[in-house]
C-alpha cells in the first residue's frame, strides 16, 4: 500500500518541508529516489536538530527527581519498543503477536522519533542484506563513523520507505499510517508530557516539576539519548568489541553496548543468527529485551519466540563456513 502520486512535483525545499509531516511525500518510484544525492538535506533535518537543541531547555527548567525518573523510564520503555518490536519483531519477525498489540508497540517505538516502523524495518533488512558493503546505508567501514552514526538518516536517498521490501507489514493500513505520518507519535508524547507536568505542578507541587520541565527531560533529553544509544549499534557495534563468529561483515559483541541498548550489543551473535529472538547467547551476555519478551510470552501477549539454533553453541564455529549472505535474508513469513 502506498499513497497516491501527486503533481506537479514541488521544489526540493518545499518537498523537504512537507516531509516533516508526510514522510512519504513526494511518492516517486523507489529506484528513482535511490538515485538522489547521498548528502545531508539540512531542511529535512531541522526537526532532528531541534530535538538536540531542545535539550538546552534544561538551562531554563532545571531538574527534579520526578523529571529525571520520567526521562529514565521513557528511555527504558522506548528502548524496549525499539529493540523488542522495531528490531526483533517488525524487522526480523522472531515471534508472533496480535494486530492491536503490534500497533501499540509500534506507536510506542514511533514516539522515539526514529521514523516509522516500516521505514525502520526496511532500512534494517537492507543493512543485513548488504552489511558493510557500499549499499549498506550505515556501514562505518564504508562510510565512516559519523555518517554511519548520524549522517545517513539526513540523506535524501535514505528518506523513502521501500514498501516492496516490507510487504508483510504494509498490509496493515494502521502501520502504514503510522509510518507515513511519523511525526504524530513523538508530538503526542511531547504534548502528553507538557500536560502531565502542568497537572502535577498544580495538584502535586511537592514533586517539584512542571509542564516545561517534563517536556525537556521526558521528551528532548530522553529521546536524544535514546537516539544515540540506538545509533551506536549502527556505528560502534561494527567497530568495537569481540567477534565470536566469522561473519562476512564487521559486527561485534560489546557488553557495554548491550547494557545501554537492553541487549542489542551482542551484534555479532545477531548478525550470525538473526532469526533468534535472543541475542545474548549465554547467561553472562545480558539481554534485558529478551528477558522482558519472555515475560510478555508468559503473560500471553506474544508467542512463538524463536530459539537460538544449536549451531550457535558448536565450538570453533568461527572457523566454520558461514552461510552466504543470500541465505541470511530475513524470514518474513511469521
Ligand atoms: Zn537485525
Ligand atoms: Zn549490523
* Triad 166, 150, 157: Cα angle to 5°: 50
CA distance 144 to 139: 7
Beta-ladder partners of 211:
none
Q: Tens of pLDDT along 87-143?
A: 999 999 999 999 999 999 999 999 999 999 999 999 999 999 999 999 999 999 999
Spatial CA neighbour of 183 closest among 24, 54, 26, 75: 24
CA distance 181 to 107: 11
Q: How many CB atoms lie within 10 A of CB 223?
A: 24
Looking at the domain assignment, is residue 20 inside a domain? Answer: no
Radius of gyration of the chain (CA): 20
Using DSSP, state whether 136 is helix, strand or coil.
Answer: coil
Q: Tens of pLDDT along 274-323?
A: 999 999 999 999 999 999 999 999 999 999 999 999 999 986 555 444 55
pLDDT class for 10, splitting at 50, 70, 90?
A: low
Looking at the domain assignment, is residue 37 inside a domain? Answer: no
Contact 93, 334 (CB under 8 A): yes
Q: Measure 239 CA to ligand 2 centroid, in angstroms.
A: 10
Looking at the domain assignment, is residue 3 inside a domain? Answer: no
Q: How many CB atoms lie within 10 A of CB 256?
A: 12
Q: Across the chain, what does the average pLDDT equal?
A: 91
Looking at the domain assignment, is residue 36 inside a domain? Answer: no
Looking at the domain assignment, is residue 165 inside a domain? Answer: yes
pLDDT class for 16, splitting at 50, 70, 90?
A: confident
For 216, which DSSP code? Answer: I
Q: Measure 143 CA to ligand 2 centroid, in angstroms.
A: 14
In this prediction, residue 30 carries a pLDDT of 79
Looking at the domain assignment, is residue 112 inside a domain? Answer: yes
Q: Measure 58 CA to ligand 1 centroid, in angstroms.
A: 35
Q: Measure 174 CA to ligand 1 centroid, in angstroms.
A: 23
Domain residues for the domain of 126 are 44-328
254, with CB counted inside 10 A (0-12, 13-18, 19+), is buried
Q: Tens of pLDDT along 164-205?
A: 999 999 999 999 999 999 999 999 999 999 999 999 999 999
In this prediction, residue 317 carries a pLDDT of 52
Looking at the domain assignment, is residue 8 inside a domain? Answer: no
Spatial CA neighbour of 60 closest among 192, 215, 200, 196: 215
Average pLDDT over residues 237-251: 95
CA distance 305 to 88: 10
Ligand nearest the Cα atom of residue 328: 1
Average pLDDT over residues 148-154: 96
Q: Measure 208 CA to ligand 1 centroid, in angstroms.
A: 41
Looking at the domain assignment, is residue 70 inside a domain? Answer: yes
Number of domains in the chain: 1
Residues around the ion ligand 2 (C-beta < 5 A): 251
Amino acid at each position: 500500500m502506498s499513497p497516491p502520486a501527486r503533481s506537479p512535483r514541488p521544489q526540493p525545499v518545499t518537498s523537504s518541508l512537507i516531509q516533516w509531516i508526510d514522510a512519504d511525500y513526494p511518492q516517486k518510484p523507489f529506484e528513482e529516489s535511490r538515485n538522489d544525492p547521498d548528502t545531508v538535506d539540512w531542511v529535512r533535518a531541522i526537526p532532528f536538530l531541534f530535538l538536540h537543541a531542545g535539550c538546552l531547555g534544561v538551562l531554563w527548567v532545571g531538574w527534579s527527581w520526578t523529571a529525571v525518573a520520567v526521562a529514565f523510564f521513557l528511555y527504558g520503555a522506548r528502548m524496549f519498543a525499539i529493540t523488542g518490536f522495531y528490531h526483533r519483531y517488525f524487522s526480523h519477525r522472531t515471534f508472533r503477536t496480535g494486530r492491536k498489540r503490534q500497533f501499540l508497540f509500534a506507536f510506542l517505538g514511533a514516539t522515539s522519533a526514529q521514523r516509522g516502523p516500516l521505514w525502520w524495518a526496511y532500512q534494517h533488512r537492507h543493512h543485513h542484506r548488504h552489511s558493510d558493503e557500499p549499499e549498506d546505508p550505515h556501514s562505518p567501514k564504508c562510510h565512516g563513523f559519523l555518517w554511519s552514526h548520524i549522517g545517513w538518516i539526513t540523506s535524501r536517498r535514505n528518506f523513502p520507505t521501500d514498501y516492496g521490501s516490507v510487504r508483510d507489514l504494509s498490509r496493515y493500513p494502521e502501520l502504514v499510517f503510522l509510518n507515513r505520518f511519523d511525526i504524530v507519535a513523538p508530538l503526542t508524547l511531547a504534548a502528553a508530557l507538557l500536560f502531565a507536568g502542568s497537572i502535577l505542578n498544580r495538584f502535586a507541587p511537592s514533586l517539584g516539576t512542571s509542564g516545561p520541565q517534563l517536556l525537556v527531560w521526558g521528551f528532548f533529553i530522553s529521546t536524544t539519548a535514546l537516539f544515540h544509544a540506538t545509533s551506536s549499534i549502527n556505528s560502534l557495534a561494527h567497530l568495537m568489541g569481540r567477534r565470536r563468529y566469522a561473519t562476512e561483515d564487521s559486527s561485534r559483541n560489546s557488553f557495554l553496548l548491550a547494557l545501554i541498548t537492553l541487549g542489542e550489543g551482542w551484534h555479532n551473535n545477531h548478525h550470525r543468527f538473526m532469526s533468534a529472538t535472543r541475542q545474548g547467547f549465554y547467561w553472562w551476555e545480558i539481554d534485558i529485551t529478551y528477558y522482558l519478551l519472555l515475560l510478555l510470552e508468559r503473560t500471553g501477549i506474544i508467542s512463538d519466540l524463536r530459539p537460538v539454533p544449536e549451531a550457535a553453541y558448536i565450538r570453533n564455529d568461527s572457523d566454520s563456513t558461514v552461510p552466504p549472505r543470500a541465505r541470511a535474508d530475513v524470514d518474513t513469513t511469521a
